Amino acid sequence: MSTISRAAESAGVSVSAFILESAAERAERTLADQRHFVLTGEQWRAFTEALDRPARRIPQLEKLLREPSILERA
């Protein structure tokens, strides 16, 4: 009996249900890494200071956003 089969039996579910549940949990952890991050106190202060700073004007970016996109040029 495989480890997965034994684990499914121990959990009282079918192998398919066990694998699906395990995959869903792994997917949640993978996506959480993209949504949730942990910072030290110093990193948090630097992060919030950066967010609180006034926006900088970047002339090249302003020009790029004023021009029609490659999809609009036809």
Domain boundaries of the chain, sorted by first residue:
3-66
In sequence order, what are the residues at sequence separation of 6 or more whose Cβ sits closer than 8 angstroms to the Cβ of residue 43? Answer: none
CA 37-40-49 angle, 5° bins: 85
**Residue-level pLDDT at 69:** 85
Nearest alpha carbon to residue 14 among 5, 24, 3: 5
Contact 7, 1 (CB under 8 A): no
State the pTM of this model: 0.45
Confidence of residue 74 (pLDDT cuts 50, 70, 90): low
| Residue-wise pLDDT tens digits, 23-49 | 999 998 888 877 777 899 999 999 999
Residues in the chain: 74
Please give the mean pLDDT across all residues of the chain: 91
